[in-house]
Structures are given as structure tokens and as C-alpha cells.
Amino acid sequence: MPYRSPLLDLPGPIAAPDGHPEEGVPWHWGDPFAEQRTAARGAVVIDRSHREILAVTGEERLSWLHLVISQHVTGLAEGTGTEALVLDSQGRVDTHMVVAHADGTVWLDSDRGAVASSALPSGGKQPLREYLEAMKFWSKVDIRDVSGELALLTVLGPDADRVLSAVDVSLGSDAYSVIPIPGGFARRMPWPGRNSVDLAVPRADLAAWWRRLTDAGARPAGSWAFDALRVESLRPRLGIDTDDRTIPHEVNWVDSAAHVAKGCYRGQETVAKVHNVGRPPRYMALLHLDGSPEITPETGDPVVVGERTVGRVGSVVQHHELGPIALALVKRSTRPGAELLVGAEDRVVQAAIDPDSVPGEAPAPGREAAQRLRS
């Protein structure tokens, strides 16, 4: 059965269209642009209860996870978190996770339907939990899918801490700070926007937490507001802003989710090689779309310069200040100022790359070292 949040039964929410990535949770609550403005200037609460959550426990939870995910976590202290990936053997992204460590448990939350490439000779994709179970061997860990027990809410905006204080949640100011709360955990995130806190609450208490947060002053907002600020923040969503060739460097997941120096995880050779001596073939750009025609491109549509296809469209949103914007993976040679056409069939529009979204061309550390040796 497709997921359907119980909050959709409250007065006011508009569900996302069928087939939308946010299907099953409120898309907006009647005024998506006002919700975005409040998220930028006040505080909103967003239902993200369609995310999947795994709980990893056991005395070897950190040392074992260190071997199977892309992030350095052997020293991940309780009360902290991070982001991480599972890569295939070629370094391409299978799954993106946000991590929280609290109460002897490492929590891994991901988009619905998270998968990983099987390590078996037969290959193919398998659910993330099945992949992790297959990689346990004799490690002293236990992996549980707690998606049916916990549901995620996000409080977003500069007034988020005031709202959270009213419901007795007080977090440190550092990004990825984590504290236990009754039945779950709270985690501070560095995106989207200026201040964001995820609350993993007992699923049975989802509506009660929603009422507490809205009574404390958080405006109900939908996934549209979250995505608009996510796109503005240049944060990708797996399967929307990535394809089956994406490596972490192309979508700003190196450092935040992939460690370039630690070894022993699948795909590490690609991560280290591209960081040290190469350049990723593509980068993720923020596109400003021509808003004069009442059409927008769709995820997967081509990005074209002249007669050449130079990329693909990812997330497309209507932003309360920037108008229609999108993330796109484009060839590294595509520079700001290029005259782009974006879309397919009857939804082609002009677009321009936001120059602030173009990554700098810093020399690769390995190339610099080799040049010093030669000189």
C-alpha cells in the first residue's frame, strides 16, 4: 500500500500529485509561497514522515558502519551526527543517508525506497537494510527497520529554536548536534535554509507532536517549501538530482557525506582518485528558468547549448523570491553565460546558470604534489 500520512486527514493540507516524489505527505497547506516566506523569516513545521529510518545497535556499531558507508564514523560521539553514502564498486551513489548517534543507537534515515548494489556476484539492487544485513558477517551489530515506529518532522526557520524551546527540545548550536527526546531523537541540520531541526518522534504520536509545534508558533508547511529551500541551498535529492552515473563530487557530497582519506569502503578508490588527481565530469548547477511562459521542464529533461546536450534537469521548483529554479547536472565545460535551453517537447524554456553555484577550479592536491616533485 502506498504511504499516506495521517496529517493529510487534518483540515487544510493539499496532497502532492500522484507519482510525485513527495506523494503521501502534505505538499502545501493552501499558500506555498507564504509558507516559504515564513520558513525564511519565522518558523514552519514540515511533515517528512515518508522517510525510512534504520536503527543500528550493538557494541561494534561504529567500527562496522565505518567499513560499509562512505563517512568516517569510528569516532562519531554520542550526541553528534553526519551524512553518509553507500556507493557501488565504481564509486557511483546508491544511497544518501543522514546519521544521528544517540542512546547507544546510530539512526540512519533516507528517502523512501533506499537501495544499494548487491555485493553478490549476481549483482542488482536490493533494499538498503538487506544490503547492510548481508555485510554484517560476524560483527556484533543489530539492524532494525524502525520506519513503522518513528516519523520525521522538520522545524525550519530562524525562529525554530524558540518553537522547540516551547516543547522542551533544546539542541546545541553545532550542525548535526543530536539529543534524545521521548521515544526518538532531535538533530540540528545545516540545511535547508538558515536553521533546520529534524525530530524523529513516535509514529503513534505524530499528530500530537504536530499540534504541539503548531501551538508553539510553527506554521504548517508542505514539502514544496522544504524543496524550494533545499534547491536554493544547492542540496541534491537522490534519484531526482542524481542519475545512475553520479559520483559524490558532482553533487557536493564530498566532505559532507564522503570522506576522501579513509579507506576500506566500497567505491573509495573513485572518491580518492577524483579528489586527488582528477576532476568530476559534471557539476550541479542552480538554473534560473525563464518564467514568462507558463511551462516548466521536468526531472530528466535535457539541458542544451546550441545543438549539444550538456546535462539533465533535476529538481524543479517555484521559489517565493527567485521564481522558477532548478538543479541540473551539467558537463564541466558548461560555464555561466551559456545560452541554455531546458526541457523537452512543449516545455522548453530558456535558462541561465547562477554563477555562485559553479564550483571553483582549485588545483587537485595530487596534481599539485606531483608538480612539486617534478620541479
Q: What is the pLDDT of residue 368?
A: 53
Q: What is the pLDDT of residue 369?
A: 45
Residue of 54, 112, 107, 60 lying closest to 81 (CA atoms): 107
Per-residue pLDDT of the chain (375 residues; tens, 9 = 90+): 789 999 999 999 999 999 999 999 999 999 999 999 999 999 999 999 999 999 999 999 999 999 999 999 999 999 999 999 999 999 999 999 999 999 999 999 999 999 999 988 777 999 999 999 999 999 999 999 999 999 999 999 999 999 999 999 999 999 999 999 999 999 999 999 889 999 999 999 999 999 999 999 999 999 999 999 999 999 999 999 999 999 999 999 998 999 998 878 999 999 999 988 888 999 999 999 998 888 999 999 999 999 999 999 999 999 999 999 999 999 999 999 999 999 999 999 999 999 999 998 766 555 554 455 455
Cell triple for 247: 559520483
Distance separating the N- and C-terminal Cα atoms of the chain: 64
Q: What is the pLDDT of residue 263?
A: 78
Q: How far is the C-alpha of 344 from the C-alpha of 78, rounded, in Å? A: 48
Q: What is the pLDDT of residue 361?
A: 72
The answer to whether the CB of 223 falls within 8 A of the CB of 48 is yes
Q: 115 CB contacts (<8 Å, ≥6 apart)?
A: 94, 95, 125, 126, 127, 128, 131
Using only C-alpha atoms, the chain has a radius of gyration, in whole angstroms, of 21
Q: How far is the C-alpha of 101 from the C-alpha of 62, rounded, in Å? A: 10
The answer to whether the CB of 135 falls within 8 A of the CB of 65 is no
Q: How far is the C-alpha of 176 from the C-alpha of 332, rounded, in Å? A: 31
Q: What is the pLDDT of residue 123?
A: 78
Q: How far is the C-alpha of 155 from the C-alpha of 187, rounded, in Å? A: 10
Q: How far is the C-alpha of 42 from the C-alpha of 259, rounded, in Å? A: 34
Q: All domains of the chain, ordered by start, with CATH?
A: 6-51+148-233 (3.30.1360.120), 281-358 (2.40.30.110)
